[in-house]
């Protein structure tokens, strides 16, 4: 199939209405969307990405009212998070409405819901007229795409359309918080920090503090965010013997003659740039990427989470 490139939200939304799959920008990363109520369309997302069928999708809404189409109920804690952080880089996990096909949630009786704040995303979702399920628009296992060109690199001729927007503002995927139990549980770190969640619901805990019978966020067990190169997390004053075939990204100065280096002015800029940096390293055939560690506060916690996953991959 040919992949249509457009910056026109109505042209992109038309593909969704006809049962197609469309990549679109948000403030976190680019997503690959389909009509949540169209099982055949949702199946195309898993095919295009080569995504394991046991990894559930996040449903994206244009307005808070649309959540009622997806969730059986919204707990008081979920309401508090929605009021505080929607629209924005937060996904709340709620009990799934029976209208939502099981393929969208990988068989779970819960569903993740998010309302992006990036204007073009909101205009696109409004034009679609239905909630849109969307994982990140990369081939499974690769770094999430933060530009439309990165989507094209992974998914050209595998999807119907790419809605072309700006490079994404944040650069890391949304925070995911499970609101289906007595206390909210942070399942994935993102731009909304644990401290910010706790400022709204003080009881909120981290996933590692809970013992579940089965993994609550199945996606967390899959290989993630990995460039082909080996990722090494270093402290600011590390030493290497040879900069050849190596790259560096961090806040500090790159002390060695790396083949490729990115010195960021802030942790926010580092988070914003890291996935595209990984992709650029792969295009250059870099073998080792040294990533400077950062303090785990604010977006730094999400950044360190992604770096660790990349280093495992």
Of the chain, the end-to-end C-alpha distance in Å amounts to: 31
Residues of span 163-182 touching Mg ion by CB under 5 A: none
- Tell me the closest approach of the beta carbon of residue 97 to Mg ion, in angstroms: 24
Residue closest to ligand TXA when measured from CB atoms:
219
CA atoms of 178 and 136, how far apart (whole Å): 19
Q: Which residues bind ligand TXA (CB under 6 A)?
A: 26, 28-29, 31, 55-58, 91, 93, 105, 108, 110-112, 114, 134-136, 173-174, 176, 187-188, 216-220
Among 173, 176, 113, residue whose Cα is nearest residue 143: 173
Other beta carbons within 10 Å of 107: 11
CA atoms of 115 and 88, how far apart (whole Å): 6
- Tell me the closest approach of the beta carbon of residue 224 to Mg ion, in angstroms: 7
State phi, psi for 177 to the nearest 5 degrees: -125, 125
CA atoms of 287 and 120, how far apart (whole Å): 36
User: Taking CB under 5 A as the rule, which mask of x and - marks residues 122-161 in contact with Mg ion?
Assistant: --------------x-------------------------
Residue among 12 and 134 whose Cβ is closer to ligand TXA: 134
Angle value at C-alpha 298, between 95 and 256, nearest 5 degrees:
130
- Tell me the closest approach of the beta carbon of residue 172 to ligand TXA, in angstroms: 8
Residue among 30 and 270 whose Cβ is closer to Mg ion: 30
In DSSP terms, 75 is beta-bridged to none
Residue among 113 and 254 whose Cβ is closer to Mg ion: 113
# residues contacting Mg ion (CB under 5 A): 1
**Six-digit token pair at 286?**
């870099």
- Tell me the closest approach of the beta carbon of residue 152 to ligand TXA, in angstroms: 16
Contact residues for Mg ion, defined by CB under 5 A: 136
């Amino acid at each position: 199939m040919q992949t249509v490139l457009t910056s026109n939200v109505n042209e992109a939304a038309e593909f969704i209405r006809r049962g197609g799959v469309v990549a679109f920008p948000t403030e976190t990363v680019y997503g690959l969307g389909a009509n949540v109520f169209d099982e055949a369309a949702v199946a195309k997302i898993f095919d295009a990405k080569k995504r394991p069928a046991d990894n559930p999708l996040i449903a994206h809404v244009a307005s808070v009212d649309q959540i009622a189409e997806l969730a059986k109920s919204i707990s008081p804690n979920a309401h508090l998070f929605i009021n505080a952080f929607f629209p924005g880089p937060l996904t709340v996990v709620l009990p799934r409405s029976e209208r939502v096909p099981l393929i969208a949630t990988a068989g779970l009786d819960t569903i993740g819901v998010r309302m992006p704040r990036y204007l073009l995303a909101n205009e696109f979702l409004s034009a679609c007229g239905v909630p849109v399920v969307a994982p990140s628009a990369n081939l499974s296992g690769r770094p999430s795409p933060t530009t439309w060109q990165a989507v094209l690199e992974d998914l050209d001729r595998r999807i119907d359309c790419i809605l072309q927007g700006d490079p994404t503002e944040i650069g890391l995927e949304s925070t995911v918080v499970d609101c289906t139990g007595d206390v909210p549980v942070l399942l994935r770190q993102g731009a909304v920090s644990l401290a910010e969640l706790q400022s709204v619901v003080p009881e909120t805990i981290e996933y590692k503090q809970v013992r579940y019978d089965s993994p609550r966020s199945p996606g967390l067990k899959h290989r993630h965010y990995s460039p082909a190169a080996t990722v090494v997390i270093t402290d600011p004053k590390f030493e290497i013997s040879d900069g050849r075939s190596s790259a560096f990204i961090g806040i500090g100065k790159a002390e060695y003659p790396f083949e490729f280096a990115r010195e960021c002015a802030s942790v926010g800029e580092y988070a914003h740039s890291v996935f595209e940096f990984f992709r650029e390293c792969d295009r250059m055939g870099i073998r080792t990427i040294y990533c400077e560690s950062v303090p785990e506060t604010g977006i730094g916690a999400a950044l360190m989470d992604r770096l660790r996953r990349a280093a495992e991959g």
